Amino acid sequence: MSLKKILSSCLALLLFISLTKSQEQARHPKKMYRNEEGRLFANKHQPMYLMLSTTPDAKGDTEALESETCPKYANPFYFDSEGLNTIRTPSQVDPETKELVYPVADVVFQVYADGIAPTTKATFSKANKHVRNDSVFYGAGLTIELSAYDKTSGLDKTYYSINDEDFKIVEGTINISEEKHYSLKYYSVDNVGNVESIKEKLFIVDKTAPAVNWKLVGDVSGKTVSARSKIELLAVDKVTGVSHIKYQLNDDPVKTYTKPIDLSMIENGNHDFKFWASDKVGNRSDGSSHTEDIAGGDMTTFSFVIDYDPPEATATIIGDQFQGKYLYVSERSKCELDAKDNQLVVDRTMFGTNRVEINNKYDKPFAFDTQKALQAIYFQSYDMVENKSKVGKLSVFMDTEAPSTGIDYSGPQFFNRDTLFINKSTEIKLFSEDNASGVQKIVHKINGNEERETSSFKIPDEGFYEINFSSIDNVNNKESARTSQVYVDNEGPDVFINFSIKPTRQEKHNGKDIYVYPPFVKLYIGATDKHCGTKNILYSIDGGQKKNYNSNGSPSSMELFKEERIYSVEVEAKDKLGNGKTETLQFKISRN
């Protein structure tokens, strides 16, 4: 055998001897016992001998008694009855007179034989108990009372040993404070040395409370939840196991947790939630020793917020827009979606082109469909706990076409050789049509000068002009500029007056020189216009009615100046635009 094995065997043997020694009962010799009342008790299993002495203290002559008739059963002899036994001698003799006492009676010596060991009972108290399979568990505060009873001679002492320590005399309540496995051994000894068989109680002290935790499940953001959320509680106890989990919401009555707690019936706002777990021996996670369903001092508490309120989603248009029969937009317009939530940040906003399929996630403003006229955007926002807003709808009309603008000349005008002639009194009118959002404004430029916003104007100065004009609708679709060219003619025709004969002389009249003609003279009138041509020539004699020179009876066809006097002839010539010039001529008719 190797040295290593020898050493191992020796160590094992020493350990066994040590453990065995620590658990040995003390030696308890059988003995006799006299109680305070003077009764004598003897151990029923102990051999007995009778002795006679001449003195009370056995210091005189002392001899052992022997039986001549049954020596086999006399020395020693054993008491046969449990309890009272007697030793008798016939006839009582008066110790003074040494005479027989009458009536005759035996002298009886009483001895109480005790052959039954005490019975010890272990009482566990002040701690909760739990039995699982063959294991017994106790909670904190455990005390053990060992009480013993002996029917005859009475109890001498009770002994106990914890976890294989040496036996000790029980001197009161045994307090168990540490958390661990225990082996309690105990027995009692009566006053005549009867020893009880060792009893053993195996048990476990559990002072550790369960570990309990909470979890918010469902729609959760931090400690904010929706009405669709639940609170889950989970407790674990590694020794005796979890007995129950209790919880209290705000100041409501305490309840026992059996399943996830539905939050759908709890009002909107802040809430305090308290919870604790107890194991099978009453250890509570809140550190409380309460047995009632009330909260302890160190219970787990957390606050949470129930948010029933959905976000408020809005849609706005960035850029071109106009509210008319519809909300008009242009291809430059964009849709911006926004949402606000009173308690949480908004998680996301979704949109789509119909109410059923709102499945596009919004991240930035987007353009409308340029291929549709009337269209709708449906949108909905969600907060961090999945509360969703009402479905919003934004209806718009896509206007991609610019207005169409025209020009109209109202008043004097004449068209000749691809040129339109007008004068300063001619009103120029711009008009525009738009099939959607409508015309916002009409603008024009004359000869490239500053753009002006007006739909009616006149050009006062004579000359050639180029008019550029266009329109803008209410969503800023701008028409390409159109052009109209025009010549403004404000000058009337030049008037020419000739006589059929040369004057005979020249005279002074009111400081002016006038010519003198004979009575048969005729008057010829003509007019020449630079641009539009002469439309008509009118004349009047001496302030009379104006007459058309080209009609019958004109001064060129008739001799209208026969009287000898001074005549005043006014001639007015107008072109095709109504521009006119007037010439006045004075002359004298005389035969001399």
What integer is the mean pLDDT of 231-240? Answer: 92
Q: Which SS3 state, helix, strand or coil, does residue 199 take? A: strand
What integer is the mean pLDDT of 276-281? Answer: 92
Is residue 386 a contact partner of residue 363, using CB atoms and an 8 Å limit? Answer: no
Percent of the chain with pLDDT over 90: 78
Per DSSP (E only), the strands in 74-210 are 83-89, 107-114, 119-125, 129-132, 135-138, 143-149, 155-162, 168-169, 174-175, 181-190, 199-205
Q: What is the pLDDT of residue 173?
A: 96
Give CA–CA dist 543/568, Å, rounded.
8
What integer is the mean pLDDT of 327-348? Answer: 93
Cα dist. 34→43, 110, 223 in Å? Answer: 12, 12, 79
Topology annotation, domain 211-306: Immunoglobulin-like (2.60.40)
- pLDDT of 369 above 90: yes
What integer is the mean pLDDT of 212-231? Answer: 89
* Architecture of the domain spanning 494-589: Sandwich (2.60)
Q: What is the pLDDT of residue 6?
A: 37
Q: Cβ of 244: how many Cβ atoms within 10 Å?
A: 15
- pLDDT of 30 above 80: yes
What integer is the mean pLDDT of 110-138? Answer: 96
What integer is the mean pLDDT of 480-500? Answer: 96
What integer is the mean pLDDT of 36-55? Answer: 93
Q: What is the pLDDT of residue 553?
A: 74
pLDDT digits (tens, 9 = 90+) for 127-178: 999 999 999 999 999 999 999 999 999 999 999 999 999 999 999 999 999 9
Helix (H) or strand (E) holding 17: helix 3-22
How would residue 5 be classed by pLDDT, with cut points 50, 70 and 90?
A: very low
* Architecture of the domain spanning 404-488: Sandwich (2.60)
Q: What is the pLDDT of residue 299?
A: 61
CB-side neighbour CA atoms (13 Å) of 468: 11
pLDDT digits (tens, 9 = 90+) for 379-430: 999 998 999 999 999 999 999 999 999 999 999 999 998 999 999 999 999 9
Q: What is the pLDDT of residue 23?
A: 60
- pLDDT of 297 above 60: no
- pLDDT of 442 above 70: yes
Helix (H) or strand (E) holding 343: none
Q: What is the pLDDT of residue 130?
A: 96
Q: What is the pLDDT of residue 42?
A: 96
DSSP 416: E
DSSP string, 473-495: ETT--BPPPEEEEEEE----PEE
Q: Which SS3 state, helix, strand or coil, does residue 283 take? A: coil
What integer is the mean pLDDT of 199-220? Answer: 93
CATH 2.60.40.10 fits 312-398, yes or no: yes
Look over the chain and give the mean of its residue pLDDT values, rounded to a whole number.
91
Q: What is the pLDDT of residue 290?
A: 47
Q: Where are the domains of the chain?
A: 33-114, 119-205, 211-306, 312-398, 404-488, 494-589
Q: What is the pLDDT of residue 343?
A: 79
Q: Contacts by 357-362 with C-beta closer than 8 Å and gap 24+?
A: 358/391, 362/337
- Chain-centroid distance, C-alpha 1: 77
How would residue 288 be classed by pLDDT, with cut points 50, 70 and 90?
A: low
- The CA angle 349-354-359, to the nearest 5 degrees, is 40
Q: What is the pLDDT of residue 526?
A: 93
Residue with the bigger pLDDT between 576 and 2: it is 576
Residues in the chain: 592
Instruction: Classify domain 119-205 by CATH number.
Output: 2.60.40.10
What integer is the mean pLDDT of 295-309? Answer: 73
Q: Cβ of 238: how many Cβ atoms within 10 Å?
A: 10
Q: What is the pLDDT of residue 531?
A: 92
What integer is the mean pLDDT of 43-63? Answer: 90
Q: Which of 360-364, 557-561, 568-572 has the lowest mean pLDDT?
A: 557-561
Q: Which residue has the tokens 């063959």?
A: 134
pLDDT digits (tens, 9 = 90+) for 71-101: 999 999 999 999 999 999 989 999 999 999 9
**Does this chain's domain 119-205 share its CATH topology with 312-398?**
yes
